[in-house]
Amino acid sequence: MSRLIIGLMTGTSLDGIDAALVDFTSTPPQLIAAKGSVLSEPLRAQLLALQSPQANELHLAQLAANAHADACATAVHELLAQAGYTAADIEAIGNHGQTIRHRPECGYTLQISNNARLAEQTGISVVGDFRSRDVAAGGQGAPLVPAFHQALFTNPMQKRALVNIGGIANSTLLIAGQATGGFDTGPGNVLMDLWISQQLGQRYDKNGAWAATGQILPDLLAQFLSDTYFALPSPKSTGRDLFHQAWLDQHLAQHNAAPADVQATLCALTAISIADTLREHALDAIYICGGGSHNKTLMNMLAQALPQTHIYSSNVLGVDADWMESFAFAWLAKCCLDRTPANLPQVTGAQGPRILGAIWPA
């Protein structure tokens, strides 16, 4: 009998909902269908507005959570139709929700989505709120995917890292004889997306084409990298609470730079901040997933920063780079259902292993 779970992910980039249908009957589990849905402009605007404090935000957050759940329900129905399954075939949905605050130093992280509404609209049990228990145990609540990477991609014959480049970039270190490591390296696409939206009205820099027309500005890059976050030891995590428009404006106020040069330098910031955390480990290979894997300029910069290391898409590991995180949240949902701890305390800083998530039964 198949054990099918759907994972849903909406990340810091706010570009869409990734839905992955995973069969956990076999070992390793198999991704059997996936579908991406673009967030509507009204919902994206709602979620972006909630990234900063505003009047009446409790009410606005609940409305956005309802709209997010509705979009997730649509994504689930479309995925099931595409794959030829019904709700009755699915054990659960693992729904990450949309992060609107990440403040582990204050004892909380908040991912919104009305999971009761999602269960009601799909007729499928929902597992959500994955990060709060780790934070309650003294952890960062992020990144959570290293446990998934460890379970599926450990190879004793290769010193490897998996790097997810979404709005925020995070890395997982899988080195034989060492405990799995991982942390948020810093901005992935978030600052590049903010800048191109402000300057050209585009959601993202497709293939890094705009960045490729600019020049990296060494002084500006050094100023970006002087942020204290980059020098922090792990465990550490970050998000739009740090890397946001005001952060960018503050640094740019001291420079009269051409817009394309700023974009190139932001692209270099992502590449260098990733490379600086990996160089000392003398890795054999790095596998990239997330939207940033499609940014050719970023990938070239990363390769130049790590010339001795082979860099691949996670596709070569058997998981498409676009679906790695939604796959991970299906896996995290399974762990919750099985009452299996799914955090790595050495990664998040939690006091110990914890079962992550809450369940809304169908």
Instruction: Assign residue 152 a region (left: φ > 0; alpha: ψ between -120 and 50; beta: otherwise).
Output: alpha
pLDDT score recorded for residue 135: 98
The answer to whether 112 and 61 are in contact (CB under 8 A) is: yes
Residue 156 gets which letter from DSSP?
Answer: T
CB atoms within 10 A of CB 62: 12
Q: Specify burial of residue 318 (Cβ count, 10 A radius: 0-12, 13-18, 19+).
A: exposed
Pick out the chain residues at pLDDT < 70: none
pLDDT score recorded for residue 197: 95
Same domain, residue pair 173 and 292: yes
Same domain, residue pair 10 and 58: yes
The answer to whether 303 and 288 are in contact (CB under 8 A) is: no
Structure tokens at 250: 């503050």
Q: CATH number of the domain that 306 lies in?
A: 3.30.420.40
For 174-218, what is each residue's pLDDT tens digit? 999 999 999 999 999 999 999 999 999 999 999 999 999 999 999
Same domain, residue pair 288 and 336: no
Same domain, residue pair 120 and 14: yes
pLDDT score recorded for residue 15: 85
Same domain, residue pair 93 and 211: no
Run of H or E residues at 31: strand 30-38
Same domain, residue pair 208 and 68: no
pLDDT score recorded for residue 254: 87
Binding residues for ATP: 11-18
The answer to whether 254 and 223 are in contact (CB under 8 A) is: yes
Same domain, residue pair 137 and 239: no
Same domain, residue pair 128 and 199: no
Same domain, residue pair 261 and 330: no
Structure tokens at 105: 């130093």
Same domain, residue pair 131 and 159: no
Nearest to 325 by CA among 292, 281, 278, 283: 292
Same domain, residue pair 62 and 183: no
Domain count, the chain: 2
Run of H or E residues at 200: helix 190-200
Same domain, residue pair 152 and 284: yes
pLDDT score recorded for residue 352: 98
> What's the CA gap between 297 and 310, in Å, rounded?
17
> What's the CA gap between 92 and 6, in Å, rounded?
6
> What's the CA gap between 360 and 267, in Å, rounded?
40
Q: Which domain holds residue 301?
A: 144-317
Binding residues: 11-18
Model pTM greater than 0.85?
Answer: yes
Run of H or E residues at 47: helix 41-49
CA distances from 209 to 10, 38, 178, 192 (A): 24, 21, 39, 12
